[in-house]
């Protein structure tokens, strides 16, 4: 008897000729995360089997698997020979585990059998009935409930017999990197880590860019962004962050342009710098955490202005979401607690009293003419640094 993990994938099943490409990417993600446990990964019949790990490592393995994009669900399972004696023993073991786990009287259960190997002498119905009897003999307090049981014992007859009860949901999505590469504008707020997570889930590899107004923003504000990237890296692997010195640009805008345009002009610069960094690093899109109407710089007119500042596609996965929906995801992926730490952001250091909410493109671009945009961007980039954050 050995414990293995049966891993199922989701949307890849819908792929036609490209399916091997996605399957390979997923198996590589799994192998990459599992090599430290000495585990092997085998693919057969549209699913993966993880074997040869220490059972004491399983709780860590479980947490890692939950964070790999492309996995639909997985089950820790016992693998045995296909004889009734071995199967019965494992079915009893799984029943015992569930009784201990659920820890209450009057539990109900059912046995659900799948016979992929048609040479196995009993059909699925007959096997389920037989094994149900085996469980009831061992644990007479249990009752069978086919429609709404407290637990189900799954038995699959394939090359070996697999017996399990638990189905853990994975992160879904597409395997890491299968959709190309993009640059995430990562602030210290709640939204942008969620936006990054959502696009990584669709298979994008991400680098991040962060604008700071040192010395007006503190070292701790920078540490906060690094902590957020660390959380995100658990899902998407090491993340490179381009830390951009933004202070001089903000000061220059402040001196030379109408005060109410300060925020929207800053946003235009952020987009332009992000586009340059993206192109220099062969990244094909920008990702932001903008959500329609959330703040003055995210009205339709403001978004139209910032959008027109760049040629690259800009992905805004949160555009139609409410703040509470975004917070739900932030909580689930583990970034929320860091995001609400109180350190100042570059956008909160220089805030106009009455920001324009419906900027006209011509007016904004007229203000830009007052500045040497290219020189400002070059100068900011020359004062910037790049760091890599590991999970």
Binding site for Mg ion (CB under 5 A): 187, 189
Q: Closer to ligand ATP at the Cβ: 55 or 219?
A: 219
User: Does position 192 bind ligand ATP by CB under 6 A?
Assistant: yes
CB 218, min distance to ligand ATP, A = 13
Using CB under 6 A, which residues numbered 236 to 275 contact ligand ATP?
270
Q: Which tokens go with 118? A: 């048609």
Between 289 and 359, name the residue whose CB sits nearer to Mg ion.
289
Q: Counting contacts by CB under 6 A, is residue 176 touching ligand ATP? A: no
Min. distance of Cβ 179 from ligand ATP in angstroms? 19
Size of the site for ligand ATP (CB under 6 A): 21
Q: Is 303 in the site for ligand ATP (CB under 6 A)?
A: no
Locus of tokens 């975004």: 326
Does position 359 interact with ligand ATP (CB under 6 A)? The reply is no
In the complex, minimum distance from the CB of residue 196 to ligand ATP, in angstroms, rounded to a whole number: 9
Instruction: Tell me which of 206, 314, 346, 368 binds ligand ATP, using CB under 6 A.
Output: 346
Which tokens go with 194? 């969620």
| Residue 191 C-beta: closest distance to Mg ion, Å | 7
Phi, psi at residue 186, to the nearest 5°? -105, 110
In the list ligand ATP, Mg ion, none, the entry touching 288 (Cβ below 5 to 8 angstroms by class) is ligand ATP
* 89 binds ligand ATP, rule: CB under 6 A: no
Q: How far is the CB of 336 from Mg ion (least distance, A)?
A: 14
Give the whole-angstrom CA distance, residue 61 versus residue 5. 10
Q: Maximum Cα–Cα distance for the chain, whole Å? A: 86
Output helix, strand, coil percentages for the chain, rounded to the nearest 5: 45, 20, 35
Q: Is the Cβ–Cβ distance between 335 and 228 less than 8 Å?
A: yes
Instruction: Check if the beta carbon of residue 174 is closer than 8 Å to that of residue 134.
Output: no
Cβ atoms 112, 153 nearer than 8 A: yes
What is the C-alpha to C-alpha distance for residues 235 and 65, in angstroms, rounded to an integer? 10
Q: Work out how close the CB of 304 gets to ligand ATP at its nearest, in angstroms, rounded to a whole number.
A: 15
Neighbours of 225 (CB within 10 A): 27
- Minimal CB distance to ligand ATP: which residue? 189
> Which lies closer to ligand ATP via its Cβ, residue 179 or residue 298?
298
- Are the CB atoms for 270 and 186 separated by under 8 Å? no
Of 92 and 224, CB closest to ligand ATP: 224
Find tokens 């699959």 and name the residue. 156
H or E segment and range at residue 86 = helix 84-102
5 binds, among Mg ion, ligand ATP, none (CB under 5 to 8 A by kind): none
User: Tokens 């298979």 identify what position?
Assistant: 203
d(CA 209, CA 206): 10
187 binds ligand ATP per the rule CB under 6 A: yes
Q: Binding residue for ligand ATP (CB under 6 A) from 151, 211, 235, 350?
A: 211
Residues found near ligand ATP in the complex (CB under 6 A): 185-187, 189-192, 209-211, 270, 288-290, 294-295, 297-298, 345-347
């Amino acid at each position: 008897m050995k414990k293995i993990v049966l891993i199922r994938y989701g949307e890849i099943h819908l792929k036609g000729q490209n399916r091997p490409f996605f399957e390979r990417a997923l198996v590589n993600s799994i192998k990459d995360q599992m090599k430290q446990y000495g585990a092997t990964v085998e693919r057969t019949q549209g699913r993966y089997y993880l074997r040869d790990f220490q059972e004491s490592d399983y709780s860590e393995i479980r947490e890692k698997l939950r964070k790999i994009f492309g996995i639909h669900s997985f089950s820790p399972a016992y693998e045995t020979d296909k004889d009734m004696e071995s199967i019965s023993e494992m079915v009893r073991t799984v029943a015992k585990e569930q009784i201990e786990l659920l820890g209450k009287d009057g539990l109900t259960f059912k046995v659900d059998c799948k016979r992929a190997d048609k040479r196995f002498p009993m059909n699925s119905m007959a096997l389920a009935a037989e094994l149900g009897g085996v469980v009831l003999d061992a644990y007479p307090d249990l009752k069978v409930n086919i429609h709404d049981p407290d637990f189900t014992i799954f038995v699959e007859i394939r090359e070996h017999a697999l017996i399990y009860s638990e189905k853990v949901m994975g992160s879904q999505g597409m395997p890491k990197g299968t959709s190309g590469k993009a640059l995430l504008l990562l602030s210290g707020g709640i939204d942008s880590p969620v936006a990054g997570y959502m696009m990584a889930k669709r298979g994008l590899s991400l680098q991040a860019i962060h604008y700071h107004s040192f010395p007006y923003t503190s070292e701790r504000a920078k540490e906060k962004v690094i902590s957020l990237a660390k959380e995100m890296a658990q899902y998407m692997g090491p993340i490179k962050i381009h830390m951009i010195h933004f202070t001089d640009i903000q000061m220059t805008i402040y001196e030379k342009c109408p005060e109410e345009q300060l925020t929207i002009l800053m946003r235009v610069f952020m987009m332009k710098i992000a586009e340059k960094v993206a192109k220099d690093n062969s990244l094909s899109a920008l990702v932001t955490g903008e959500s329609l109407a959330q703040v003055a710089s995210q009205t339709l007119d403001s978004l139209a202005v910032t959008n027109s500042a760049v040629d690259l596609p800009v992905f805004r996965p949160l555009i139609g979401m409410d703040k509470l929906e975004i917070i739900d995801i932030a909580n689930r992926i583990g970034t929320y607690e860091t995001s609400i730490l109180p350190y100042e952001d570059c956008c909160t250091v220089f805030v106009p009293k009455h920001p324009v909410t419906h900027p006209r493109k011509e007016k904004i671009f007229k203000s830009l003419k007052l500045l040497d945009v290219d020189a400002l961007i070059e100068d900011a980039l020359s004062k910037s640094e790049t760091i890599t954050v590991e999970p």
